[in-house]
Amino acid sequence: MLHTLSFIRTNRARHWVVILIGLLSLLSLGAGNGSVLSLSASGGSNFNETITINLSVRADGKINNSTFYFEMRAPDGTVVDTHSADAPRLEAGQTYAYSWQSNNSAYPVNGSYTVFFCWSPGNSRNCSIAQSSSGFYSVPTFGTLLSIVALVLLGVWLWTARHKLFGRQTTA
C-alpha cells in the first residue's frame, strides 16, 4: 500500500511539472509581439539612384533578441536585394526607427517594386513578431526608348568626330 501511494504522488508531481512547462511555453509564445508603425521607400525615380527605406516599429511586449530582414522585390517577384540587421532589445511600448539604403543600378526593369519587411525572434525568418510591405516605383535602367536615343546620339557624335578620333585618311 505504501508503494502505491508513493507511485501516485510521483505521477502527480510529473503531471504538475508537465502542466507548468506547458503554461510557461504558452506565455513565451505570447511574449515578443510587435507592430510595424511605418515602412516606406523613397528615391529610385532615376537611373543609378539610391533608395532609402525607413522603418518604425513598436514592441507590444518585451523583445530581447530579434532580427530585421528586408527584401526588395522586382515587379515579377524576383528578389533583387536583401538586408538584415540585429534589432535592439525593446521593452513593451518602446519604439525604434531604422533605415537602410539600396541602389537601383542592378534592378532589372522599370516598374513598381516592393520592399518586404520581416521581424523575427533570434536569427530566424519566420516573421512571428511582425511583417509588412510597401511599394515604390523605380527607374533602374534608361529604358528602351532612351537607350535607342542614346545610341543614335553616340553614332552622330562618332560620325562628326571621326577625323579627330581616327585621323584623316589620305588618298593616293
Residue 149 has pLDDT above 90, yes or no: no
Comparison of pLDDT for 15 and 94, the residue scoring more: 94
Residue 141 has pLDDT above 90, yes or no: no
Q: Do 26 and 73 share a domain, yes or no?
A: no
Q: Do 48 and 109 share a domain, yes or no?
A: yes
Tell me how far apart the alpha carbons of residues 89 and 55 are, in angstroms, rounded to a whole number: 16
Give the highest mean pLDDT range of 4-13, 18-27, 151-160: 151-160
- Residue percentage of the chain with pLDDT more than 90: 49
Model confidence at 1, in pLDDT bands (50, 70, 90)? low
Q: Note whether 80 and 107 are within 8 A (CB).
A: yes
* pLDDT (average), residues 73-85: 95
- Does 112 fall in a domain? yes
Residue 72 has pLDDT above 50, yes or no: yes
Q: Do 75 and 23 share a domain, yes or no?
A: no
Q: Do 51 and 19 share a domain, yes or no?
A: no
Q: Do 63 and 131 share a domain, yes or no?
A: yes
- Does 165 fall in a domain? no
* pLDDT (average), residues 60-70: 95
- Does 171 fall in a domain? no
- Does 50 fall in a domain? yes
Q: What pLDDT is stored for residue 142 in this prediction?
A: 57
Q: Note whether 67 and 55 are within 8 A (CB).
A: no
List 82's β-bridge partners, or say none: 71
Minimal CA–CA distance to 66: which of 41, 40, 31? 31
Q: How far is CA 72 from the centre of its chain?
A: 6
Model confidence at 131, in pLDDT bands (50, 70, 90)? very high
In the block, cell 562618332 appears at 158
Q: Note whether 47 and 103 are within 8 A (CB).
A: no
Whole domain around residue 6: which residue ranges?
1-30
- Does 12 fall in a domain? yes
Q: Give the CATH number for residue 128.
A: 2.70.50.60
Tell me how far apart the alpha carbons of residues 116 and 135 are, in angstroms, rounded to a whole number: 9
Q: Do 7 and 57 share a domain, yes or no?
A: no
- Does 138 fall in a domain? yes
Q: Do 82 and 20 share a domain, yes or no?
A: no
- Does 168 fall in a domain? no
Q: Do 129 and 152 share a domain, yes or no?
A: yes
Q: Do 83 and 3 share a domain, yes or no?
A: no
Comparison of pLDDT for 41 and 105, the residue scoring more: 41
| Number of domains the chain is built from | 2
Q: Do 135 and 114 share a domain, yes or no?
A: yes
State the DSSP code for 31: S
Comparison of pLDDT for 84 and 123, the residue scoring more: 84
- Does 56 fall in a domain? yes
Give the contacts of 93 (CB within 8 A, at least 6 positions apart): 58, 59, 60
Q: What pLDDT is stored for residue 18 in this prediction?
A: 43
Q: Do 8 and 66 share a domain, yes or no?
A: no
Give the contacts of 89 (CB within 8 A, at least 6 positions apart): 63, 64, 65
- Residue percentage of the chain with pLDDT more than 70: 72
Q: Do 42 and 19 share a domain, yes or no?
A: no
In the block, cell 515578443 appears at 32
Q: What angle do CA 64, 66, 70 make, to 5 degrees?
A: 155
* pLDDT (average), residues 60-87: 95
Q: What is the DSSP string of 110-170?
A: SEEEEEEEEEEETT-----SEEEEEEEEE--S-HHHHHHHHHHHHHHHHHHTHHHHH----
**pLDDT per position as a tens digit, 14-55:** 544 444 444 334 334 444 599 999 999 998 888 888 999 999
